[in-house]
Amino acid sequence: MRYFLIDKVTEFVPGKHARGLKAVTLSDQILHDHFPDFPVMPAALIVEAAAQLGGFLLEMSVNRKGERPRRALLAQIQQAKFYETSGPGDVLDVLATIASTLEEAAQVTAEVRVGDKRIARAKLTFIMKDIDSERVHEQRRVLYRLWTRDFKEPLEIL
């Protein structure tokens, strides 16, 4: 099963931050077993949603036309804290902010809210890697176009 845990990117400032949404619904298969009488979004998947948005932010910020795109690979999760649970009917509002960058790595801070309540935060470290796979690059381009389809001006996605 594939887990694409961002439904839509709502804000993107290259080199700074990105905001995205994930609607938690009963059609999310994982909720049927986690837990049968009290469905909650697993904390690991909340962090994964933040990592997916953080990867988008980094890739869209560092890749340049005419160069081979580098992909962000999650290498470390630090200071992850969970304050509340989320479940069916909630919309996760994920904010990823670039904390620091190096040539081969970057750190992103992430905060996840439901309404006005902070439910999670973490510091995520990524390595930026040249991946020799056109399938990987095309999958990212398709996914990023879907996430940003409502932007007034289309983004150049590499």
Give the residue with greater pLDDT, 154 vs 54: 54
Instruction: Record the tokens describing residue 158, joined without a space.
Output: 């590499």
pLDDT at residue 2 in the model: 73
* Closest to 56 measured CA to CA, from 104, 118, 110: 110
Q: How far apart are CA 26 and CA 9, in angstroms?
A: 22
**Residue 58's pLDDT band (cuts 50, 70, 90):** very high
pLDDT, mean over the chain: 96
The CATH superfamily holding the domain 8-147 is Hotdog Thioesterase (3.10.129.10)
User: What sign has the CA pseudo-torsion 66, 48, 146, 149?
Assistant: negative
* Measured distance CA(68)–CA(51) in Å, rounded: 22
**pLDDT, average across residues 61-67:** 95
pLDDT at residue 34 tops 70: yes
Average pLDDT over residues 19-23: 98
Residue 20 pLDDT exceeds 70: yes
Q: Per-domain residue ranges for the chain?
A: 8-147
Active-site residue (options: 17, 32, 34, 137): 34
pLDDT in tens, 70-94: 999 999 999 999 999 999 999 999 9
Q: Let me know if 32 is a catalytic residue.
A: no
Question: pTM of whole model > 0.95?
Answer: yes
- Which band of pLDDT confidence, cut at 50, 70 and 90, is reported for residue 144? very high
Q: Give residue 92's pLDDT.
A: 98
